[in-house]
Amino acid sequence: MKYNITVVESAEGVAVWCDDLPGCCSQGSTRAEALANVREAIREWLDAQPEVERRFKVKVQRQVITV
C-alpha cells in the first residue's frame, strides 16, 4: 500500500511521520535512514492495530476526505 508521509529536515537530522496513521513517526540521521525507519514503523503500526483495537476497545479506521 501507499501512505502519505511528511519529511522535515533540520540540522539535527530528519523527522518523518505517516500522515495516514496517527502516531506513526520516526527519524534518522539522513533522509534515507529516516525513510527506512518510517517504513518499519508503518509495518509495526499495521501489525499492532488489531491489538490496539482489542485492548482499548476502539476501532481504528482510515479514510480519505476532500476539503
Confidence of residue 1 (pLDDT cuts 50, 70, 90): confident
Percentage of residues in the chain having pLDDT higher than 90: 64
pTM: 0.79
**In 3D, which of 9, 15, 42, 44 has the Cα closest to residue 28?**
15
Task: Give the separation between CA 24 and CA 17, rounded to whole angstroms.
Answer: 6
- Cell numbers given for 60: 481504528
Residue 20, pLDDT above cutoff 90: no
Residue 42: is its pLDDT beyond 90?
Answer: yes
Element (H, E) at 47: helix 31-56
Dihedral angle of Cα 34, 38, 44, 50, to the nearest 10 degrees: 160
- CA end-to-end span of the chain, whole Å? 23
Mean model confidence pLDDT for the chain: 91
